[in-house]
Structure 1
Amino acid sequence: MKGTILKSLQKIESDFEVKILYACESGSRAWGFPSKDSDYDVRFIYIHKREQYLTIDPMGIGSKRDVIEEPIDDLLDVSGWDLTKALRLLRKSNPPLMEWLHSGIVYHQAFSTIDQMKELGKSIFAPHSCLHHYLNMASNNYKKYLEGEEVRIKKYFYALRPVLAARYIKEYHRFPPLQFPVLMNTLVLEGELKAEIENLLQRKLDGEELELDPKKEILNEFLSDEICTLREYTKTLDHKIPDCTPHLDKLFRDALVEVWDK
């Protein structure tokens, strides 16, 4: 499958006259709980030639799109962001971008830009931004999917993953690992709760993700309590983010030279 993905990326480079700096998996495969029929959610960061940026309209304005999105099929979902968009999002610790940079499944990486972004991301990490993202995701999914008498197995992970990610940030003050089993083993003690999560995880991996089960009271209670606790914690956070714009500007200019002048 990697060969198919790389061919798709090469075609994008040719069709759009860009260089792809990085491509990774971003969906359930990266999170460690793919289903048997899961597609491949490929996300990438790319850079145009210098002259595309030396215009009165920046990328993302008018017809100058700062995203590339390929048609989705049953197997592949491929889309990417221009480097300038990615760097602006890095400036505020945008969680989806941070997840791309922390993906354990990397299909392609070229030049030094991404390593520099990862390193800079550590020093400008904004816990409040990521906590609010994961907490809102968990809360919304809990209300949408988990309050009925019967629940589809996979829906529990729509709340469990973001809750554990938010709790990891609270406990360790850094961006959480993507792999759900790592989060679970780091944060959930041995006992009835962990056994229930492990059972659901195995059933999801075995292809039972769409099965309807009676609501799991132990999971609902855990999620409800964690969401309340984390919501109170967010009120104590400092929302100041250091201004790293000069560093990001330099990183962008250096990338243009490295990619196109050598």
Structure 2
Amino acid sequence: MNAQIIPHELLQRQVEAHPYPLVFATISGAHLYGFPSADSDFDLRGVHLLPLDQVVGLEVGEETVEKSGVREGFEMDLVTHDAKKFFTLMLKKNGYVLEQLLSPLVVHTTPELEELKAIAKDCITRHHAHHYLGFAETQWRLLLKEKPPRVKPLLYVYRVLLTGIHLMRTGEVEANLLKLNETAQLPYIVELVERKLAGPEKGRLDEADVAFHEREYRRLVADLEVAMEESRLPDRPSSEPALNDLLVRLRVKNK
């Protein structure tokens, strides 16, 4: 399979142009999930720090910064949240923020990133399964609305379901579909990825494909529901004191 070359220097320049100091910036999206096409955009995600005078008054600064556009032929999509907002999301059953935080595709790092990664394990609960079940259902509905359906949303369906199952069974966040499939051993995953990378002509599903994958979708939904019930993960996160302490130290450091 052909992997898209990651323009590290260009991504670094996008990070350096950010209006606020960053705690971290990583790559998410198709590159993280293991099936980027030649035309896939680069989804940069991270945490920024608002200055103290923009968080203590009645008017709060930019809690979310979003920038997108084409840079030197590459489509870039940058989204960062202020540390307080991101930490709050970590305390909810939000798989996205954990995947972004723990992404191995790191563009910008600080010592606080490693501390935040260590805290993240105490944010994971059995209820994160609901995040993955909900996202899989949304993607499946989108797939059925397309005429003809595409392979891309189907890959997202399988990615989130396998991520959820793996998380419930191991407590580990893994977003790469090909790595997840080393354990799941679904024989059709590699072919689906190859079809997506081959372009639009190969990336379509016929009725027989859809019928087969609907059975697989429902089977994996049931597997995730069972994994949630059997999971030894806690019902509530225990990381709020550690996140609060880190946030205070970051604010003082950035005053």
Task: Give TM-score scaled by structure 1 length.
Answer: 0.82
User: 1:138 & 1:154 partners in 2: Cα distance?
Assistant: 13
SS state at 1:116 partner: helix
Are 1:241 and 2:236 counterparts? Answer: yes
| CA separation of 1:48 and 1:144: change in aligned 2, threshold 3 A | closer
Counterpart in the other structure of 2:43: 41
Change in Cα spacing, 1:6 to 1:226, as seen in structure 2 (3 Å) is same
Contact 2:24-2:47 within 8 A present in 1 as well: yes
- CA change 1:206–1:135 in 2 (3 A) is same
Deviations 1:36-70 (A, max 9, x none): 1111111121112223223245x4xxxx3301111
From the superposition, tell whether residues 117 and 36 of structure 1 become closer, same or farther in structure 2 (CA, over 3 Å): same
C-alpha displacement of 1:123: 2.1
Partner of 1:70: 67
Q: Secondary structure at the match of 2:129?
A: helix
Whether the 8 Å CA contact 2:165–2:227 is kept in 1: the answer is no
Match among 226, 237, 248 for residue 253 of structure 1: 248
Q: Counterpart in 2 of 1:127? A: 126
Gaps of 5+ in 1: 189-193
Give, in whole Å, the separation in 1 of the partners of 2:153 and 2:229: 28
Q: Structure 1 residue 155: deviation in Å?
A: 2.5
Please list the CA deviations of residues 86-111 of structure 1 after superposition, one character each: whole Å capped at 9, or x if unmatched: 1111122521110111212111112x
Between the two proteins, the alignment pairs up a number of residues equal to 243
The one-letter code matched in structure 2 to 1:137 is F
Kept after mapping to 2: 8 A contact 1:146/1:220: no
Structure 2 CA distance, aligned partners of 1:149 and 1:249? Answer: 48
* Maintained 8 Å contact 2:196/2:203: no
Amino acid at match of 1:159: V
Which residue of structure 2 aligns with residue 140 of structure 1?
Answer: 138
Seen in structure 2, the aligned counterparts of structure 1 residues 76 and 210 have a Cα distance that, compared at 3 Å, is: farther
Offset, 1:159 = 0.9
| 1:227 maps onto 2:221 in alignment | yes
Report the Cα distance in structure 2 between the residues aligned to 1:33 and 1:71, rounded to whole angstroms. Answer: 21
- What displacement does 1:197 show? 1.9
Is 2:162–2:184's contact at 8 Å kept on the other side of the alignment? yes
Q: In structure 2, what is the equivalent of residue 30 of structure 1?
A: 32
The counterpart of 1:3, out of the listed 9, 13, 20, is 9
Residue pair 2:124, 2:234 contacting (<8 A) in 1 also: no
Partner of 1:191: none
CA distance in 2, matches of 1:21, 1:107: 11
Could you tell me whether the CA contact under 8 Å between 1:152 and 1:210 is conserved in 2?
no
Task: Give the drift of 1:148.
Answer: 7.9
When structure 1 is superposed on structure 2, of 45-54 and 144-153 the one drifting more is 144-153
C-alpha change, 1:210 and 1:72, in structure 2 (3 Å) is farther
Q: Say what the alpha-carbon RMSD is for the aligned residues.
A: 2.6
Instruction: Give unmatched runs, 5+ long, in structure 2.
Output: 1-6
Identity of aligned residues (%): 22
The 1:71/1:147 distance shift into structure 2, 3 A limit, reads closer
Decide which of 198, 203, 213 is 1:206's aligned counterpart. Answer: 198
